[in-house]
Structure 1
Amino acid sequence: MDDQIDNLRALSALLSGQGYRVRKALSGKMALETVAAQLPDLILLDISMPEMDGYAVCHQLKASEETAHIPILFLSALSDLKDKLRAFEVGGADYITKPFAAEEVLARIQHQVQILQQQRSLHREIQERRQIEARLEQQNQTLKGIFQAVPDQILRLRADATILDDGGQPLTTQTLPWPISVQGQIKTALQQALTEKSVVTVEFTHPRQGECQYYEARIAAFRAQEAIVVIRDVTRRRLIELDSARKSGREQLLANITERIHQSLEVSQILSAAVEGTRRLLNVNRVLVYRFNPDWSGEVIIESVNRTDLAIQGVTIYDPCFERNWHHRYLEGRNHVVADIHQDAHLQSCYVEMLSQLQVKSLLVVPIRLQQTEVGHPLWGLFIAHHCDMPHPWDMWEQDLMQQISVQLAVALQRAQLYEVMSRRANREALLNRILDAVRESLDLTTILQRAAAEVRTAFQVDRCTVALLDFTQSDETTPGLGMMATPNGVKEVTHDPFASLDRVYVGVVTRTPRPLVIHNASLPAPRVTAPSPLPSGAPAADVRMASRPALDPPPAKPVESPAILATSLWFEGKAQGVLSVQQNQTPRHWTEDDILLIKEVADQLAVAVQQAQLYQQVQTANATLEKLANLDGLTQVANRRKFDEYLQQTWRWLRRDREPLSLILCDVDYFKRYNDCCGHLAGDDCLKQVAQAIARVAQRPNDLVARYGGEEFAIILPQTPPAGALHIAHQIQAAIAAFNLPHPDSPISDRVTVSLGVSSQIPGVTGTPAILLTHADAALYKAKHAGRDRCVTLWCKTVNPGDEQP
């Protein structure tokens, strides 16, 4: 079902060529009409269709009892994880992303067809069981009439169970010719029949020619102390009943497991129901599920036992001969059937010894095989039944039952793994998004590293996450710089060595390659390996699998504090910028492929974020330098006129708000033109520099500003300074310039360089402007010059408020 005619033609040709009969629909409405006309075995459904989308069509089909059983495979170009999850939520059996490969489509369809065939086979068995039950009931009625008319054996018994003849005389001094246990049953029933004057039926078994025979005894009171006993051989009927009961139990068990698979993704519940139901149905001592580890050891993850002394759940078993002797057999789907472990010549003595320790006398092993996926190995584990009391010849129906349940368990595990993969991918994407959000929210390196360390530790659920940048100003390129460490107690900056918890040799390995360093258990010995050489970005992980800490050359100087370490470099443009590591302190941990992929993706994003933050810091520093240069006088290195005007306006607004005084000093070098003409321009420039430095040494409070106001004129802004304080600073400036005793060969007032200073002070008013303060300072400077120069003159300006006259 697809709204694209080309897709319909391609799929129709593909499937028809494989012998499938195909019907097509171009819309959701047409699809429902087509299904209603004739129920298909399988539906290929596109999501984006006119009138009704694929989700609505699937939901409507699954809501109908008539069409709910039809498997639906979504075939869509939508590749987002949310679209796939929604497809499974509305009842989809599988999801194929366009563009598709013909082999993939055929393989997935064949898989669903196999499941459908199994379901139909199960349905046929149910129908056959019902027919058998109907026939059995009919046979029972017929047999009842026949046996009532022509019983197999009729006995006349006295109250003490002595057999009497037709005349009522004992036939023998012995009683019934049955085992003592059977005699006890008949005597009890005999007393009940005589007491209640009723007919009592009792069933018992008795071996005959090596086979167990079933008998039914009907006891009816005949006289006060006598009864008639009719004994029939009901072996055939009983065997039919037992077979029917087994089939019914098998069908019920399979239906229960199938229902749980479709209702829940809780694998533990499905496995628990499977082992418990199988043990009861097979009447064995132990049924278990054994899951393989990557090294082909395995753990009993769930079991059902009929005695507590047989419990072995949680036990890990390692068979060194498994991979050589059994791996390929189980991978091919072959069962392992042993009726008696001590009589099977194919079993090795070590295997027999291991089974004996587990109290096993007989076993049936069925492999649990998954489809080849990106998660794990196809041979997931084993489904095992044990007889622990005595040897047992396994019937074909028992093997078939175990095989069918194994298939259902594989389906459940496959679904759970698929869901787990999707969940992990969603979590990984969420973590990456959170880190990217941190990057967008801030360009501060400290903030980025803090957020990354906290998020990664939470995502991996580890004891410690460390992220540190390398200090390239040092000769050793593995020297750490800024570092953050996240623990369950929070995130803190590591001031000295962020790599203290990592061996320095490991740091050297990580920083030379983009590949993650994977250590599952650093406390175990391991073969010696050499440090990996640098590889291009995207290369597979430098993995230390299943074991262990590698003994690198040279060996670490001290033991690694954490048994499990996963570390990778922040690799950018062919070079490590830092290291990201997660560590498990107390116990080893097997890092999965998803763990390795996740930390690599996080490190890649973090490397870009760090680079951006560093570039931003460089730009900020450059901008600050440019701004400083833009506000400085190139010759004297004090503020220029532009900065003076800007700061005066800013300070005026500030002190107007706080109602505090603002003072301004204008300083002019006396007879500077004569000095310039006499000594030359270079000497003049040097004179101005020394004057500027002398003024700056005096006016050095944080809010004071010294600026070059004109050619040989300087201005000093003194916030929060009253007139007396400003005059004091002016005298200090005058003294500081006199102190360096710079000769002035052509000054009419002194043989050294002197200055004249005009000082004005004012508390800024609401309507006033800084121009008033500047005017008064200029007037004061004018007075100082006309009064003979080399002196200070002060003018106090009146505060201007609304309604006041201008000075």
Structure 2
Amino acid sequence: MPDCLQLIADIPAFVESCKLLQSEENRCTIEDEIAFVDGRTIRRFSSQIRDDRDRYFGRLYVFEDITVHKQAEQALQQQAERERMIYEIAQHIRESLDLDEILNTTVAEVRRFLQTDRAIVYRFNRDWSGVVVKESVAEGWQAILNMQITDTYFVERQGQSYQQSAIQVTSDIYTAGLSLCHIELLERLQVRAKLVVPILQGDRLWGLLVAHHCSAPREWHPLETELLQQLATQVAIAIQQSELHQQLQIANQQLENLALIDQLTQIANRRCFDRTFTLEWYRLMREQRPLSLLLCDIDYFKQYNDTYGHAAGDTCLKIVAQTFKQAVERSTDLVARYGGEEFAVILPYTDTDGAVRVAQKIHEAIQALALPHIASAVSQYVTLSIGIATVIPSYNLSPVDLIEAADRALYKAKVSGRNSWFTSSIFLI
């Protein structure tokens, strides 16, 4: 059949298949498919013909054009693949609240399924300019992740077309009636064809889900546009979930901060001190490194309140607390209100000498304030008494032992005239 032979897509493979069929020994009934260069698919059915004495004298061939059937089969496969992909991404969205992870998965899956050169998520700014926040790009094509893109026409229109849920299908940028500046922008991005779907948060246009075909023009199939539209809906759900989760985390963090911050002085409270002190104790026990504790008391603070009033006393506590924070510079250290007019300073990785230097710095900072205190028996200004204790935590000791040692040192400072600091000799290193 010479007229048919020239239509066969793979002639060598077809010839080899015919050799097997022509063998007298091959009694099998064969059913296979032949691809034509014009896109048709022909099903071939072949079986031996033998007489009543089982003598072979020919073969029966039946040829049937099954192109429509194959196209329907492929469409069903694409539909199944599309539904599988959407289901997997939807599952991923439900399992994760990490927006970065979800968007990365989305662009990778879109590019893989559409077999296109680039897939991006583009997010709008308040002025309707935008930035590429996620990208999956094939090797050999320009990466545009984090690129700021401003389309003047689009900014002026403020995304009105996309806010109407419009899908932009462009098979070839040179025949789509685009403005010259728009074409120049797409040329810089190496885009020849594109498929764009809006990502909406209610009535708000959040961004765009975009497929770029760079190598050549491309006719986008309706199933492909439907896929991208459904994925944009899933991404919108993910964004909403993520934003709600972030708001919840912020609210929880604010509640946590309220629970751990002294509302008057705005430094750590006793609860925060207890938790941090215990964590540092066991951490430094594992590392066998020193931990120092300062317990500080404002001298004659009851007399201060009696003289100046409780409102002035609260102001004094606020000023002293902030002075403590400024004097203790390391981020690993913690200044806390221990109770009433008492303050505590946790100093990880600090030996006795280092703790003494911090105490001296605090003393100097308080003296520099020169807060009047006419009712004090040791000075005309507000002063501090400080107790210092240091230890390398061990299983033979408990956190309470260090607190009691610092408290004994504080008591010694008070009975020795106040406005001073003392260390506990039991835990000196």
Q: TM-score range by the shorter chain?
A: 0.7 to 0.9
- Against the structure 1 CA distance between its residues 590 and 629, is the aligned structure 2 distance closer, same or farther, given a 3 Å change threshold? same
Task: Give 1:470's match in structure 2, choosing from 120, 124, 128.
Answer: 124
C-alpha separation in 2, matches of 1:704 and 1:460: 54
Q: Could you tell me which amino acid in structure 2 is paired with residue 572 of structure 1? A: Q
Q: Does the CA contact (< 8 Å) of 2:33 and 2:42 recur in 1?
A: no
Report the Cα offset of residue 450 of structure 1. Answer: 1.5
Query: Which residue number in structure 2 is paired with residue 418 of structure 1?
Result: 72
Cα distance, 1:437 vs structure 2: 4.0
Amino acid of the residue matched to residue 170 of structure 2? I
Matched, 1:516 2:167: yes
Matched, 1:736 2:358: no
Shift of residue 790, structure 1, vs aligned partner: 0.3
Q: 1:488 maps to which residue?
A: 138
- Tell me, yes or no, if the aligned pair for 1:457 and 1:465 is still in contact at 8 Å: yes
Q: Which runs of 4+ in 1 moved over 4 A?
A: 262-274, 490-493, 502-507
Aligned AA (1:517)? Q
Q: CA deviation at 1:767?
A: 2.8
Partner residue, 1:451: 105
Is residue 668 from structure 1 mapped to residue 297 from structure 2 by the alignment? Answer: yes
Contact 1:484 1:493 in 2 (8 A): no
Counterpart CA distance in 2 for 1:676 and 1:649 is 33
Paired-residue identity, %: 36
Answer yes or no: is 1:560 the counterpart of 2:210. no
Partner SS, residue 709 of structure 1 = strand
Count of aligned residue pairs for this structure pair: 378
Distance 2:312 2:132 in 1: 48
The one-letter amino acid paired with 2:416 is: A
Task: Specify the SS of the correspondent of 1:511.
Answer: helix
Q: Which blocks of at least 5 consecutive residues in structure 2 are unaligned?
A: 1-28, 44-61
Tell me the residue number matched to 1:106.
Answer: none
* DSSP 3-state at the match of 1:560: helix
Point out the structure with max Rg over C-alpha.
Answer: 1
Structure 1 segments unaligned to the other structure (5+ residues): 1-258, 275-403, 525-548, 801-807
Letter in 1 for 2:93: V
Q: Contact 1:266–1:416 at 8 Å: present in 2 too? A: no
Give how far 1:551 is off: 4.1
Q: Is the 8 A contact 2:122 2:210 kept in 1?
A: no
Report deviation, 1:578: 1.2
User: Residue 685 in 1 paired to residue 314 in 2?
Assistant: yes
Match of 1:596 in 2: 225
Distance 1:555 1:717 in 2: 62
d(CA) in 2 for partners of 1:678, 1:446: 59
Post-superposition offset of 1:453: 1.1
Residue deviations 1:557-592 (CA, integer Å, cap 9, x gap):
845322211001112323222111111123111111
From the superposition, tell whether residues 579 and 271 of structure 1 become closer, same or farther in structure 2 (CA, over 3 Å): closer
Residues 1:496 and 1:688: Cα distance change in structure 2 (over 3 Å) = farther
1:752 is displaced (CA, Å) by 0.6
CA distance in 2, matches of 1:752, 1:507: 63
TM-score scaled by length of structure 1? 0.44
Query: Is structure 2 residue 126 aligned with structure 1 residue 497?
Result: no
C-alpha change, 1:678 and 1:588, in structure 2 (3 Å) is same
Equivalent residue letter for 1:483: V
Equivalent position SS for 2:206: strand
Distance 1:449 1:650 in 2: 37
Q: Determine helix, strand or coil for the equivalent of 2:223.
A: helix
CA distance in 1, matches of 2:245, 2:341: 40
Query: What are the within-5 Å matches in structure 2 for residues 280-679 of structure 1?
Result: 409=65, 412-471=66-125, 474=126, 476=127, 478-480=128-130, 483-489=133-139, 494-497=145-148, 508=159, 511-524=162-175, 549-551=176-178, 556=182, 558-561=184-187, 562-679=191-308
2: distance between equivalents of 1:567 and 1:787? 79
How far apart are 1:493 and its partner, in Å?
A: 7.8
Counterpart pick for 1:695 among 303, 321, 324: 324
Letter in 2 for 1:709: Y
- 2:248 aligned partner, one-letter code: V
Distance 1:494 1:576 in 2: 20
The amino acid that maps onto 2:399 is P
Give the counterpart letter for 1:519 in structure 2: T
* Amino acid across the alignment from 2:324: I
Which one-letter code corresponds to 2:177 in the other structure? P
**How far apart in 2 are the matches of 1:518 and 1:742?**
73
Measure, in 1, the Cα distance between the counterparts of 2:110 and 2:183: 28
Tell me if the contact between 1:743 and 1:752 (Cα under 8 Å) persists in the aligned partners.
yes
8 Å Cα contact 2:389/2:427 also seen in 1: no
Partner of 2:57: none
SS of 1:434's partner is: helix
- Indicate if the aligned counterparts of 1:669 and 1:753 stay in contact, CA closer than 8 A: yes
CA contact 1:664–1:718 (8 Å) conserved in 2: yes
TM-score normalised over the length of structure 2: 0.81
Amino acid at match of 1:615: L
Distance 1:496 1:744 in 2: 61
How well do the aligned residues superpose, as a CA RMSD in angstroms?
3.0
Q: How does 1:780-799 map to 2 (within 5 A)?
A: 780-798=409-427
Superposed CA deviations along residues 216-269 of structure 1, whole A, max 9, x for unmatched, are: xxxxxxxxxxxxxxxxxxxxxxxxxxxxxxxxxxxxxxxxxxx99x75495769
Per the TM alignment, residue 598 of structure 1 is displaced from its structure 2 partner at its CA by 0.7
Going from structure 1 to structure 2, the CA distance change for 1:571 and 1:648 (only over 3 Å counts) comes to: same
Counterparts in 2 of 1:568 and 1:618: CA distance versus 1, 3 Å? same
Residue 611 to residue 684, structure 1, CA distance change in 2 (3 Å): same
CA distance in 1 between partners of 2:339 and 2:89 (Å): 53
